[in-house]
Amino acid sequence: MLALCFTACKNSRQHRETERAFYYWKSIFAPTSYEKRRADSLGVTTLYLKLFDVVWNKTSKAPEPAARLLVKDTAWLLQKKIIPAVFITNECFYEQDSMQIVQLAKNITSLAGKLAEQNGFGSYPELQVDCDWSGATRDRYFQFLRTVRELNRGKRIAATIRLHQVKYRQSSGVPPVDRGLLMCYNMGDLQQAAVKNSIIDAQEFRRYIQRVATYPLPLDAGLPLFSWVVVFDKGAYAGLIRNADISPGGAPALERSGTGYRVLKDTLLGGRLIKTGQFLRPERSDAATVNAVGRLLSGKLGGRKLSVALYHLDSLTLNKYSLYELESIYNSLR
């Protein structure tokens, strides 16, 4: 009886099947040998590949594509399962009528198919749409998604889901797609000086976790690896410095102050001039926190299979994590 009980308990905790993925969010696909080795060593099978952005042109008062992907390493790319992604700014949906929404869906479907075909992955199984929609644009965005779905029969259509869209589901609505990818980052308001870490915070994530369990879409998971420094000038948000690190021992122009550093004299950081009196808040996705968020999420996600995508495949980012740490992050969702 004890043996049977042990077997039953063991089976009730069977591992979930996870598909390991990376986002690739640069406009030129030319991963370094280090990036490729690291992805292969981790058993990454899938790449979420941004094909282009869609931005609002204030002059023509119309959405237009920008930052189209240029592929320079087809050989390695085609060893992976490719999920094309298209990023659309929320502004693109403010002033569009129903006919313009349909045309936008046709234009994006056509360009996505053209770029994929040119680069050898025209038979991709899924198209992901990335847009931080709002209550004001929800109806137009959802009409757009329904049209994209109609135009791409035989393919899955997925949408990225922000945590605030899960928390405020009644006003945000649920996008009419096949799957969602929950972006488990950008959890706080980076423009508020009192915030400790706007990228990822396990305590903050706990405020959303119950809503995740009841979200009516099958969800994949996106976890952060990136870092940045948030700049404040006279208490007001003044921008981001990406991929910049502050080393307390190597920063004589800075003085520790609360959650960050006060600038003591004009100096350069990450190629940007920071000025005396400004306040800098370094934020990073440390492995322990990302792992903790993954474990919290794992207990609330249904289904026996999901994709776990790390953002993103970049040498500057990957150098900050050991192979063991990255393995642990992927395994946190099993």
323 and 265 within one domain = no
Q: What is residue 251's predicted lDDT score, i.e. its pLDDT? A: 61
Q: What is the CATH number of the domain that holds 180?
A: 3.20.20.80
Judge whether 221 and 307 are in contact, CB under 8 Å: yes
The pLDDT value recorded for residue 11 is 40
Q: Determine the pLDDT at residue 10.
A: 40
Domain assignment present for 38: yes
Q: What residue type is assigned to position 276 of the chain? A: T
Average pLDDT over residues 24-35: 97
Which residue segment(s) compose the domain that 195 sits in?
16-225+285-331
* 103 and 231, same domain (yes or no): no
Burial class of residue 72 in the structure, from the number of CB atoms within 10 Å of its CB (0-12 exposed, 13-18 middle, 19+ buried) = exposed
Mean pLDDT of the chain: 92
Answer whether residue 247 is part of any domain.
yes
Residue 267 domain flag: yes
User: Does the pLDDT of residue 194 top 90, yes or no?
Assistant: no
For the whole prediction, is pTM greater than 0.75? yes
Same domain, 162 and 213: yes
**Cα 292 to Cα 32: distance, rounded to the nearest angstrom:** 30
Q: Is the pLDDT of residue 6 over 60?
A: no
Region 129-141: what's the mean pLDDT? 97
Average pLDDT, stretch 254-274?
90
Which residues, including other chains, have CB under 8 Å from residue 247's CB and lie 6 or more apart? none
| Residue 229 in this model has a pLDDT that exceeds 60 | yes
Q: Cβ neighbours of residue 325 under 8 Å, at least 6 residues apart?
A: 287, 291
Asked if 237 and 215 sit in the same domain, the reply is no
Q: Are residues 166 and 248 in the same domain?
A: no
- Domain match, 118 and 246 both: no
Domain boundary among 258, 283, 308: 283
The yes-or-no verdict on residue 248 having pLDDT over 80 is no
Q: Is the per-residue pLDDT at 164 higher than 60? A: yes
Give residue 245's pLDDT: 78
pLDDT value for 250: 57
Question: What pLDDT, on a 0 to 100 scale, did the predictor assign at position 333?
Answer: 96
Q: What is the pLDDT of residue 112?
A: 98
Do 259 and 323 lie in a common domain? no
For residue 129, give the nearest of 142, 120, 119, 139 by alpha carbon.
Answer: 142
Q: Please state, in angstroms and rounded to a whole number, the distance separating the CA atoms of residues 217 and 230.
A: 33
Whether 309 maps to a domain, the answer reads: yes
Residues 156 and 271 in one domain: no
| DSSP codes joined into one string, 5-27 | HHHHHHHHTPPPEEEEEEEE--S
- pLDDT score for 7: 42
9 forms bridges with which residues in the sheet?
A: none
Q: Of all residues in the chain, what percent carry a pLDDT higher than 70? A: 94
Total domains present in the chain: 2
Q: What is the per-residue DSSP string for 284-324?
A: E--HHHHHHHHHHHHTT--SSEEEEEEE---HHHHTTS-HH
Q: Would residue 10 count as lying in a domain?
A: no
Q: Is residue 5 part of a domain?
A: no
Mean pLDDT, residues 86-111 taken together: 97
pLDDT at 58 exceeding the cut of 70: yes
